Amino acid sequence: MLKDAFTRLVQRHTDNGNAGIIWLELEKAYNAKGRYYHNLSHLENMYAHLLEVKEDVTDWDTLLFSLFYHDMVYNASRKDNEERSAALAEKALNKIAYPPEKITLCTNQIITTKYHEISENADTNLLTDADLSILGASRESYLQYCKNIRKEYSIYPDFLYNHSRKKVLVHFLEMEYIFKTQHFQQKFETRARENIAHEISLLQNLTLPM
């Protein structure tokens, strides 16, 4: 589904026949060793949720490019993954002569996924909400997500990981709303807070299995 969606997306903006090559670059990145959560399954989940609100999206194609590239670079030991992912998106979109103002929007959307702060752009808020949708998944899916994230950060010992992870989770709970759009708030807000509180209790009492 993702490959077909991406191929159609690229072909809407170029006839140079490079859609397959560009997809292979994305596929290789998201299938890289050590990607237990930030992989193609994550993109599929986001894509499915965004399809539900497609009618509310102003610039669907730019939003899709942001989705496909937002985690193209992912290294648990670095803090500039979003910026590097945005740079790769800009390079790829320039190759297909995507409009400059839309490229800027795309790179800005990708960088916004770093902190998930509210944006004046409604499409950006839908993107970041979809990115966080796993927080409101079923308890079983959420706990698997926790394990996969821990695997991605396996280079860090428990005492460092647990402290940093708890800090991130508490930050979410301190927000008035985790999700910025009405659709995602209604669908995921309550369960997300329950899942996060549960994970915090696990981090306080034991180490999460990898």
**pLDDT by residue, tens only, the chain of 210 residues:** 899 999 999 999 998 778 999 999 999 999 999 999 999 999 999 999 999 999 999 999 999 999 999 999 999 999 999 999 999 999 999 999 999 999 999 999 999 999 999 999 999 999 999 999 999 999 999 999 999 999 999 999 999 999 999 999 999 999 999 999 999 999 999 999 999 999 999 998 865 555
**62 domain-assigned:** yes
Is residue 147 domain-shared with residue 170, that is, in the same domain?
A: yes
Instruction: Say whether both 198 and 151 belong to one domain.
Output: yes
The pair of structure tokens assigned to 61 is 């194609």
pLDDT value for 162: 95
User: Is 210 part of a structural domain of the chain?
Assistant: no
* pLDDT reported for residue 161: 96
> Structure tokens of 81?
């993954």
Integer angstrom CA distances of residue 71 from 48, 102, 137, 173, 201: 17, 19, 20, 24, 28
162 inside domain: yes
Q: Are residues 143 and 193 in the same domain?
A: yes
Q: What is the pTM for the complete model shown?
A: 0.95
Q: What residue numbers bound the domain in which 188 lies?
A: 138-205
Please state the domain count of the chain.
2
Same domain assignment for residues 166 and 117: no
Residue 27 included in any domain: yes
Does 123 fall in a domain?
yes
Measured between alpha carbons, how far is residue 72 from residues 4, 5, 60, 80, 97 in Å?
Answer: 18, 17, 19, 12, 20
pLDDT at 207: 53
Q: Are residues 162 and 122 in the same domain?
A: no
